[in-house]
């Protein structure tokens, strides 16, 4: 099996980032439900705000499908979730309960099938599904061009005028390791 880092080291833009940051890895979450909830918490807020909300939420309720579904919505809002995000995490909890989802439920599905299952839940869009694919279940070939950090990192590497279509085209050369490439593109943005 080919090492993704060997592939990325050969890339003119990503190779120096691999050398600079070492071999970054995908570490799938121990609990895919928790990871999906964290992705919803992170939607459209700063990382600092998301971290504070996550901490309060995890202190306030048991972050399991049953714990979130059974929590008083006011408790979820007091933890820092907006009314809309309160609905979203409850929708996800209900879906996990109704569909009896566990990690293995997703392992047998293609990326597109996972994306379709998740985005059928109100509050889970493409970005959240892509974060779940990468960090919830460790899929190696996801390129979340809808992510602000990815777009900014690609612009840092390829120029401010780089379009999303051009970003997708460039990312084709990183297949089947675009998730690993994404880790380095985020680093380019953070410089």
pTM higher than 0.85 for the full model? yes
Among positive and negative, which fits the CA dihedral 114, 142, 119, 69? Answer: positive
Buried b (16+ CB within 10 A) or exposed e, 20-45: eeeebebebbeebbbbbbbbbbbbee
Cis geometry, peptide bond prior to residue 191 (ω within 30 degrees of 0): no
Residue 162 burial (10 A CB sphere; 0-12, 13-18, 19+) = middle
Q: What share of the chain is helix, strand, coil (3-state, %, to 5)?
A: 65, 0, 35
The span from the CA of 146 to the CA of 96, in Å, is 25
**pLDDT at residue 191 is higher than 80:** no
At 77-130, the pLDDT tens digits run 999 999 999 999 999 999 999 999 988 999 999 999 999 999 999 999 999 999
The span from the CA of 183 to the CA of 21, in Å, is 10
pLDDT of residue 184: 96
At 36-70, the pLDDT tens digits run 999 999 988 888 999 999 999 999 999 999 999 99
Phi-psi sector, 159: left (phi>0), alpha (psi -120 to 50), beta:
left
């Amino acid at each position: 099996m080919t090492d993704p880092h060997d592939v990325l080291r050969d890339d003119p833009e990503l190779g120096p980032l691999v050398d600079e940051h070492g071999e970054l890895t995908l570490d799938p979450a121990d609990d895919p439900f928790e990871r999906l909830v964290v992705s919803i918490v992170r939607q459209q807020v700063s990382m600092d705000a998301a971290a504070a909300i996550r901490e309060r939420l995890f202190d306030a309720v048991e972050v399991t499908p049953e714990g979130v579904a059974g929590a008083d919505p006011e408790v979820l809002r007091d933890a820092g979730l907006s009314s809309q995000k309160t609905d979203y995490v409850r929708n996800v909890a209900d879906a996990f309960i109704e569909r009896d989802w566990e990690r293995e439920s997703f392992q047998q599905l293609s990326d597109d099938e996972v994306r379709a299952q998740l985005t059928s839940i109100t509050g889970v869009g493409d970005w959240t599904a892509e974060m779940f694919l990468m960090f919830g279940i460790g899929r190696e070939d996801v390129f979340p061009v809808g992510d602000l950090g990815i777009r900014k990192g690609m612009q840092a590497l390829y120029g401010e005028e780089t379009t999303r279509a051009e970003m997708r085209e460039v990312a084709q050369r990183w297949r089947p390791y675009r998730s690993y490439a994404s880790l380095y593109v985020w680093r380019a943005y953070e410089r």
